[in-house]
Structure 1
Amino acid sequence: MTFAYRLLIRCITPLVFIYLWVRSRKAPAYRQRWPERLALQDVPVQARDGIIIHCVSVGETVAAKGLIEQILNDYPHLGVTLTSMTPTAAELAVKLFGDRVFHAYLPIDTPGSMRRFFDKFAPRLVVILETELWPCMLQQAQQRAVPVMVVNARLSERSAKSYRKYSWLVGPIWPAVTAIAAQTQATRTRFIELGMSSERVVVRGNLKHDFQVSHEIKAEAERLREQLNRLILLAASTHDGEDEQVLSAFRKLQKHHPSALLILVPRHPERFEAGAEAIAKAGFTYVRRSSGEDIASQSQVFLGDSMGELLLWYALADVAFVGGSLIERGGHNPLEPVATHTPVISGCHIFNFQDIYDRLQQANGVMMVSNADQLANSWHQLLEQPALCKQLADNAAQEFANDQGATNAVFSDIRATLSVFTGAATSRTVFMMQTVKPTRDTTLWFDPEVLSDCTNDYFDPEYWRAHNQIKGSATGRSTAWFIDAAEHGLLLRHYYRGGLVGKVNTDRFKREPVASSRAMAEFSLLLKLREAGLPVPRPVAARYVKAPIWGYRADILVEVIPNAQDTFKLLQQRQLESHEWESLGQVIKQLHNHQVYHSDLNCHNLMLDNAGKAWIVDFDKCEIRAEGDWREKNIQRLLRSFRKELTKATEANQVFHWDETRDWPKLIAGYSRI
């Protein structure tokens, strides 16, 4: 991403809000939820550390329906967030999936907005439908080592030329993309020519080929067909400049079929009124879907001014015209009418779906028209020749009959990408945690599998002391308390400032969103690392308290690792065995293989239990990082900590069983073995 792009996107941000305001005059939903356009909204904890699926608009949401259902069914322990750009897609997401998903608008692609977006959602995977690639978004994902998959990807030659033309502006975006599942070989080739690594681009087909028309839609279409008992024509997804042509063609058709009904469905909700005006201006009697009125026998046109019902109108129609194609819009996907076995007519401007229309034309599965007269003639021909009408639909269906399977293939790719952080069925995730706010300024997260409830008292050592449940303490920068809580041994730790700052400000941190605060960030990371099978403590509860005037304070409760001691204490008692050093090296390598950066890797935070198993603790300020030289720096930090403790012990005339030439190579050998 270039400086020029960052500057440009910031400059046009005010224009985006002007555009939203202008569109809101026809579609009021465009003036709602504006904070989300800059990622300024609150995000529920259950939406964090999950999967983000970006469907820019309605078409992509429909295409992804089967894939999203599979994800929801197979990953019930993860939050799934659908993002989009348009209110219509937002409305459809709620209609299709209800409260099983979260919805948010993808923010404007400024550096600040995308940083806030990733801070708040902290996704483990981003799935983008088709080719909605934004440089700042990709940069944030790459910096945080979040995989980005582009699925159902299509790239026309026209779009590829645009990417090449503006590559100087957007910069090298392809290294940030983990994988691309292309619809066709031609699309795959174009991505590779643009710079995407060939091994990261595969052909998986089109998700819409797997589209299944539900029994409910089929039954409703049959009921309406019997009720109307008329020939029905559909003009779907029409744009400015097409309504008049469609209505003109319908006027010509009425000379031969005066009782026919035209269903007109404008592409966007803000065009519903324009569609109604065009119908009235043409002199047709009509009824609007939004009115709830039945279609009377004298109604000539039915205006489909609703969302999420296009598939029903396709299933109902005798013949369908797919819009966006009589004007230079590029057409829309014809696979929905193919799925409903409805004969397809299209205009000639179909560059957005050229590959699909090429196959339909070669199979004699579509009629192409250039103007209103040709549209009227094609309608008339198909209505007069039912055998031709059926043959057209059969040819289209047969052409794509063997193309199914894209959904399963893409889902397998997603499973493989998620496999690093989807462990046993007993894994706990942020989605399973509970949130309570005992006061306006206090937020608690806790695991209901460990604690039946959680109160402020649980973070006060005096509460546990009063109940005689304090079993010991550990000292370092501050005191941590060991607590006997029934079958769970817990460690309570308050977050303190270090260094020179800590001498004047002991425990206040600069205010930030709750989910990004020190305790909550460590809580979330520990859950994720345990899910990956890494030997780290189990998080139990975390607290964020907004401090008066400035800052916040934080605490965390984690389970104690049974029968374990840190290596510092062990080295005060004895030498470590070779296998113990190797075990410590191996667990560090496991952490690094999962791209986990430990900000304070030292001999106090490495532990060994009675069985010789190594553990790592204290993940304050730790994170998952992209590739870099931080691994070696982590190892060197650990080495310095051993040297420091040896020096201190020597100066104090104390025993510390550490010999660098003897012990350090053993740890490195374990590290190198994995």
Structure 2
Amino acid sequence: MPAPPTESGARQRLARGLYSAALYALSPLIFRRIWREQVPTHPRRQRLGFGLGVLPPTPRIWLHCASVGEVRAAKALIEALLARYPRHSLLITTMTATGAGQVQALIDAQTETTRPRLAHRFLPLDFPGAARRFVARVKPAMALMFETELWPNLLHACARRGVPVAVVNGRLSERAFSRYRRIRPLMAGALANVDWLAAKSVADAHRFQALGAPRRVSVIGSLKFDVAVSDSRLEESKRSLLGKSDRPVWVAGSTRDGEEALILGAHRALRQRFPQALLILVPRHPQRFDEVAALCEQEGWRTARRSENAAVADDVAVYLGDTLGELATLYAAGDVAFVGGSLVKLGGHNVLEPAALGRPVLCGPSLENFIDVAEPLLQAGALEQVETPAALASAVAALLNDPALANARGQAGIEVIRDHQGALSRTLKGLDALLSRDGEGPVS
């Protein structure tokens, strides 16, 4: 039975009404931006809850990940859900085309048995009608929001249909908390529709509770640590890329606008000490692949492109990783890894990806968005922060010059990851409880 109306509930309903009105008022600007995110296999009307096509069979679990980084971080959870709930299919939604590409790479990697049970669609914009249409069409047995995806109208639509909702790997940075606190009635209303919030840290749990999370909140640790470490299949990456060549190779992954020029400057300095050094450069966003290729050519670098299956001849100085779903393979092909989004003030990206492969990891000073997983690596010496391109070149050179040091740092990273694993099993246990209340728990 619904709880009787309260003054707090009235404020929350008013806040959601004002929020929806603001969305409608801003819709021309929203559509102009979102309409550029086009994937040929996904009609644009999916942004309004239409055109979902044939969905995988019910019962169906819905998992929402904002973009490519969240999909990568959720990979272990996705695979575990497919294995733990064999009677269920899994629908993954993203907001971005890059996220869609990452999901497609996961689908392509599935077996013939599991592939039909995994699908991707775009998340509808959070208009009330679009949210209702989407939830009514998907009919999820359970809805999972990854990290900080709290869309008020979508969560309200789930609650109206009795869909249990969990926030998994719940993350709320201090900066995001400061923003959300200004609209606390709206966020409190959204959180009121969450049945279980699995926070990755005590600090995150406290922030969610301060915003008004009224139901069960648990601290389960970060799912990002639950990755497979040192995949032996990837150890052949360098050999398949370079053949019998023993050139020193470093990888700059998930680079962002304005960062590639700094990295190429570091590469120029590095090649003064290691003339045969090869840089594998992997921009974060596919829409910038051609732009970065042009930058490399303008600066005089002989460049080969992954998408063209170009050979890495001895005179190639930069290898552009311009494909989706291959970042781990490219990290594994290097002797040293640099994680981008950190030499520019963007908060960094996931430093665990190369660490899980036993690679020594470098990053820039901006790491706010991943400080929770970075701190253990920093303390163990598996991760080193550099302030400038010159310092980056020196750090790469030091590791290339001392393979024993590089190996020790790589092994330290693997040990950190293994020591912090376990969030996945705790998350699955909590999800079992949500599904079992409707008689749809895991098959034992």
TM-aligned CA deviation for residue 385 of structure 1: 2.1
Q: For 1:302, give the aligned amino acid.
A: Y
1:125–1:147 CA contact under 8 A, matched in 2:
yes
Q: In the alignment, what sits opposite 1:407?
A: 424
Q: In the alignment, what sits opposite 2:85?
A: 75
**Does residue 163 of structure 2 align to residue 146 of structure 1?**
yes
Q: Secondary structure at the match of 2:143?
A: strand
Aligned pairs (5 A) from 1:61-72: 61-72=71-82
Q: Which has the larger radius of gyration?
A: 1
Q: For 2:25, give the aligned amino acid.
A: C
Percent of matched pairs sharing the same residue: 38
Q: For 1:298, give the aligned amino acid.
A: D
CA distance in 1, matches of 2:421, 2:166: 20
Q: In the alignment, what sits opposite 2:24?
A: 10
Q: In the alignment, what sits opposite 1:587?
A: none
Aligned pairs (5 A) from 1:554-569: none
CA distance in 2, matches of 1:425, 1:154: 26
Aligned pairs (5 A) from 1:405-484: 405-422=422-439
1:4–1:169 CA contact under 8 A, matched in 2:
no
Residues 1:171 and 1:129: Cα distance change in structure 2 (over 3 Å): closer
1:366 to 383, 397, 411: 383
Q: For 1:205, give the aligned amino acid.
A: G
- Per-residue CA deviations over 1:435-474 (Å, capped at 9, x if unaligned) read xxxxxxxxxxxxxxxxxxxxxxxxxxxxxxxxxxxxxxxx
TM-aligned CA deviation for residue 400 of structure 1: 2.9
Q: Secondary structure at the match of 1:41?
A: coil
**Does residue 174 of structure 2 align to residue 157 of structure 1?**
yes
Q: In the alignment, what sits opposite 1:239?
A: 256
**Does residue 110 of structure 2 align to residue 96 of structure 1?**
no
CA distance in 1, matches of 2:106, 2:441: 29
Q: For 2:22, give the aligned amino acid.
A: L
**Does residue 219 of structure 2 align to residue 203 of structure 1?**
yes
Count of equivalent residues: 421
TM-score by length of 2: 0.89
- Per-residue CA deviations over 1:612-664 (Å, capped at 9, x if unaligned) read xxxxxxxxxxxxxxxxxxxxxxxxxxxxxxxxxxxxxxxxxxxxxxxxxxxxx
Q: Secondary structure at the match of 1:293?
A: coil
- Structure with greater contact order relative to length (CA < 8 Å, sep ≥ 6): 2
Residues 1:417 and 1:247: Cα distance change in structure 2 (over 3 Å): same
**Does residue 247 of structure 2 align to residue 230 of structure 1?**
yes
After TM superposition, which residue ranges in structure 1, 4 or more long, deviate above 6 angstroms? none
**Does residue 351 of structure 2 align to residue 337 of structure 1?**
no
Q: In the alignment, what sits opposite 2:111?
A: none
TM-aligned CA deviation for residue 31 of structure 1: 10
CA distance in 1, matches of 2:415, 2:140: 40
2:39 to 29, 33, 37: 29
Q: In the alignment, what sits opposite 2:33?
A: 19
2:303–2:318 CA contact under 8 A, matched in 1:
yes
CA distance in 1, matches of 2:100, 2:82: 18
Q: In the alignment, what sits opposite 2:329?
A: 312
Residues 1:227 and 1:309: Cα distance change in structure 2 (over 3 Å): farther
Q: For 2:407, give the aligned amino acid.
A: K
1:43–1:120 CA contact under 8 A, matched in 2:
no
CA distance in 2, matches of 1:357, 1:113: 38
Stretches of structure 2 lacking an aligned partner (at least 5 in a row): 1-14, 108-114
TM-aligned CA deviation for residue 313 of structure 1: 1.1
Residues 1:223 and 1:357: Cα distance change in structure 2 (over 3 Å): same
Residues 1:148 and 1:258: Cα distance change in structure 2 (over 3 Å): same
TM-aligned CA deviation for residue 399 of structure 1: 2.6
Q: Secondary structure at the match of 2:289?
A: helix
TM-aligned CA deviation for residue 40 of structure 1: 1.1
Aligned pairs (5 A) from 1:613-632: none
Q: For 1:274, give the aligned amino acid.
A: E
Q: For 1:114, give the aligned amino acid.
A: A
TM-aligned CA deviation for residue 49 of structure 1: 4.5
Q: For 2:225, give the aligned amino acid.
A: H
CA distance in 1, matches of 2:382, 2:85: 39
**Does residue 131 of structure 2 align to residue 114 of structure 1?**
yes
CA distance in 2, matches of 1:3, 1:149: 23
TM-aligned CA deviation for residue 371 of structure 1: 1.6
Q: For 1:289, give the aligned amino acid.
A: R
CA distance in 2, matches of 1:81, 1:257: 47
Q: Secondary structure at the match of 2:39?
A: helix
TM-aligned CA deviation for residue 359 of structure 1: 2.3
- Per-residue CA deviations over 1:266-305 (Å, capped at 9, x if unaligned) read 0010111121111112110010001112211110000000
Aligned pairs (5 A) from 1:208-223: 208-213=224-229, 214-223=231-240
Q: Secondary structure at the match of 2:420?
A: coil
TM-aligned CA deviation for residue 79 of structure 1: 2.5
Residues 1:225 and 1:202: Cα distance change in structure 2 (over 3 Å): farther
1:147–1:178 CA contact under 8 A, matched in 2:
yes
